[in-house]
Chain A
Amino acid sequence: MTFEHLQPPAAAAPVSPADPAPPVPALALRGLAKRFGTKIAVDGISLDVPAGSFYGIVGPNGAGKTTTLSMATGLLRPDFGTALVHGVDVWQRPLEAKKLMGVLPDGVRLFDRLTGEQLVSYAGLLRGMDRAVVVSRVAELLAALDLSQDAGTLVVDYSAGMTKKIALASALIHAPRLLVLDEPFESVDPVSAANIRDILERYVASGGTVIVSSHVMDLVQRMCDHVAVVAGGRVLAAGTVDQVRGGESLEDRFVHLVGGRSHAEGLEWLRTF
């Protein structure tokens, strides 16, 4: 099975050391902020995701990960701040910016009265792709994600993990240069998760950029080369995984940064049965 189709077209030309201009980041967030009623969900997030990186965004529940990624991908209008995808402003030139991105949003429905095959084809055709290309890519994607058996089943009858995988396929179909995946491994079985990781790693190796949000520190530590820790709508730490964890495991470092760990005191009665 080959994934030539999935390789990002025209990966940024390698920058020679003599070149004075810094490389354009795949995603650059500047002072993004969003308020829902009285609650400030995102409080001025600035972040540079280098092109060709595998970037993890971690944070506790309600940290503002999904809100940030929605604003970065053009799904939610920020109150303040800008988002640039490969130098294209998402909110000034949305159609152009969205061509560069593949998005797996969390917590949105799918057009689930379509079959899996139809849904992924729909995503491709919406992007203005040629039908022959769509058909061949859909077949490859479904095979790679182990969904060929259920290509003809309506998505509404899929399990949670299968639904996640078909949404991922819809995000990959147009071979974007930047993939923004919100909780891509939630309820996906371990074998499929390993397959997805393989696909993403090969995609990064050939110059694409992946941003994933996750709760699973272990996964992020093994899979990503960069990581940002987000809590309370702010970036607490960002950089390469080694920089951020500084010798500790990412999980310990995360708990350290975010705080809120209760040291198992009290609950004595739990040991009295």
Chain B
Amino acid sequence: MVAHLLRLKLTLLRNSLRRSPWQLVGLGIGALYALGIVGVGIAGLLLLRQADVATAQTVVVLGGAAAVLGWAIIPIVASAADMTLDPARFTTFAVPMPQMLTGLALAGLIGTPGAATSLVALATVGTWSRSFLGAVGALVGAILGVLTCVVLARVVTAGTVGLASSRRFKDVSAIAFLIPLVLMGPIVAGVARGIQSSAGFVAELARFLEWTPAGAAWALGGEFAAGHYGTATLKLLIALASLAALALCWKVLLERALVTPPYAGTAKKKTSGLGLFGMVPATPTGAIVARSLSYWLRDPRYAGSLVVVPLLPVLLWFQASQSGFYGLLQFVGPLTAFLLAWSIASDVSYDSTAFALHVSAGVRGSQDRLGRAVACLVFALPIVLLFSVVPMFIIGDWTLLPGILGLSLGVLFTGLGLSSVVSARYTTPVPLPGDSPFKKPPGNVAQTLAVQFGGMAVLLLLVSPELALVAVQLAGGGPVPGWICLALGPVLGFVLFVAGVRLGGKWLEVRAPELLAQLAVNR
């Protein structure tokens, strides 16, 4: 039965690859990325062999505990839990529980994260291969530790399945997860500084974690290598007991889940009235503005990029305060303008096949383009203006303001025009409606990259007059180029915006059915 489950998992993996060669490319890229991390991890662990026992022990235990934490958290926040072997699908098959548990746990090791964790964990055997007993201890510890990771992930998924299938939780957690991700740099720097100031703290933390389920298994190798057989036995018992306890938890949760399927329809959100649709002009363009704005607010895939926007100046300010060079902070306006304008470059892809409504309603291409662009402009314009002015205020140097304002407006309008053309012509594989914003479906990677980088190159070319003027001013050309830029940016941007909406509209009208067919493939 266990072998059956493992074979099922492998078959599922192979069949998913057979659906299209691009799936294979996606897996390949994921595997390469993982391989890089694994390579670094293994090399580091092997190098630790030369380090003194205490340091090696600290690193191994902290790394192991971090892995356990990761396996516990990532399935919920990223809603990326691997549900191919969802226990609920075995309800009708009467699989004996012990075999089901073993099979599912081992199946969890198949796939990139499982394989990566196992490989790195096994490398700890290398770290402790200074003595035979150390190596054996490390091997036992690695097996116990990896199993703890896998089972813990299963417990967490089983325990939160009701929560995780509620749409509101998914929406909120996906966005909330973005914030630490974006602020990773400052957080890491802050933690690093904290560690520098109290070097003893890390070691203390590791000593503490060794006695908890998160770190006990990972400490075995070090304890055996150091010859502390008493504590080693105690920690082995802790590790075994926590694995057993987790397995028991999982069993209970699974038994419950098998007879009570999750109830998803909690707390339906009720809003009365037309909302934004009552505020826009009653035209197709107005309706599209209202629809797009509703999506910017309600769809985590859009809202996610809105959350990033206020974090951008924070990030740049942090960078500036670290390096003492505030020059980059002045460019937060144009940068935000670029981000927001480019964000609608895959607008039609985000619609997925819901775009069929626009096709069957016979919406004119230019109305479609203009509606989406204006919706973005409604919030992008005030944000970009604010972000262009406030940094000058912080730095107390206003000389660059006219040039930056011109550049920001130029980038914003030009970018919106360009995005209107790009999204009318190309679809890109994006997370499907209702999926986590992190779940990039594999697709034509080459085309996606070509569209992204090609589009950015074209944008750079289109705003090159504004860029050149700001560069001249920065190079000591006096305030005049800045003022020229302030006049030129909005005018040139607006002309390109209108041209983009027109051209994109024309293409959209001609190719709407083909676009819809592509969307149906990507879905």
Contact = CB atoms under 8 A, between A and B. Distances in A.
A130 interface: yes
A98 B362 contact: yes
A76 B359 CA distance: 10
B434 A156 contact: yes
Contacts of A73: 360
Interface string A105-148: 10111111111011001110111111100110000000000000
Interface in B351-377: 351-354, 356-364
Nearest to A173: B361
B360 A105 contact: yes
Interface in B277-307: 277-278, 282-284, 286-288, 290-291, 294-295, 298-299
Interface in B339-357: 351-354, 356-357
A51 interface: no
B284 A126 contact: yes
Given A110-B354, A111-B357, A130-B282, A153 B434 contact: no
B274 A112 contact: no
Interface string A73-112: 1111100000000000000001101110101010111111
A109 B432 CA distance: 10
A204 B177 CA distance: 53
Given A95-B362, A121-B277, A122-B291, A109 B270 contact: no
B269 A99 contact: no
Contacts of B433: 109, 112-113, 156
Contacts of A111: 291, 295, 351, 354, 357
A76 B290 CA distance: 27
Contacts of B275: 115, 118
A192 B87 CA distance: 35
B357 A110 contact: yes
Contact of B354 (A77, A109, A117, A152): A109
A33 to B, nearest CB: 15
A98 B269 contact: no
Contacts of A123: 357, 361
Interface stretch (B37-45, B457-465, B511-519): B511-519
B167 interface: yes
B282 A125 contact: yes
A112 B352 CA distance: 11
- Band of interface residues on A: 35 or more
Contacts of A118: 274-275, 277, 291, 294
Contacts, number: 118
A91 B270 CA distance: 41
Given A134-B282, A135-B274, A75 B268 contact: no
A113 B277 contact: no
Nearest to A113: B298
B260 interface: no
Interface in B482-523: 513-514, 516-517, 520, 523
A121 to B, nearest CB: 5
B197 interface: no
Given A109-B353, A152-B271, A126 B359 contact: no
A75 B356 contact: yes
Contacts of B272: 151-152
Interface string B414-440: 000000000000000000011000000
A108 B269 contact: no
Contacts of B357: 110-111, 122-123, 126, 170
Interface in A210-259: none
A154 interface: yes
A125 B516 CA distance: 21
Q: Which of A97, A123, A157 has the most CB of B within 10 A?
A: A157
B265 interface: yes
B269 A126 contact: no
Contacts of B298: 113, 154
Contacts of B274: 117-118, 121, 135
Nearest to B371: A126
A231 to B, nearest CB: 23
Contacts of A97: 362
A125 B269 contact: no
A224 to B, nearest CB: 22
B401 to A, nearest CB: 38
Nearest to B367: A126
Contacts of B273: 117, 152
Nearest to A77: B513
Q: Which of A77, A109, A123 has the most CB of B within 10 A?
A: A109
Nearest to B351: A111
Contacts of A94: 362
A261 to B, nearest CB: 28
B269 A154 contact: yes
A173 B351 CA distance: 21
23 contacts: A73-B360, A75-B513, A75-B516, A77-B514, A98-B361, A108-B520, A109-B353, A109-B433, A111-B291, A111-B354, A118-B277, A122-B290, A123-B357, A125-B287, A126-B287, A126-B288, A127-B284, A127-B361, A128-B284, A153-B270, A156-B167, A156-B434, A157-B265
Interface of B: 167, 265, 268-275, 277-278, 282-284, 286-288, 290-291, 294-295, 298-299, 351-354, 356-364, 433-434, 513-514, 516-517, 520, 523
Given A94-B362, A95-B362, A110-B354, 9 more contacts: A73-B360, A95-B364, A99-B362, A113-B433, A118-B274, A118-B275, A122-B287, A126-B287, A151-B272
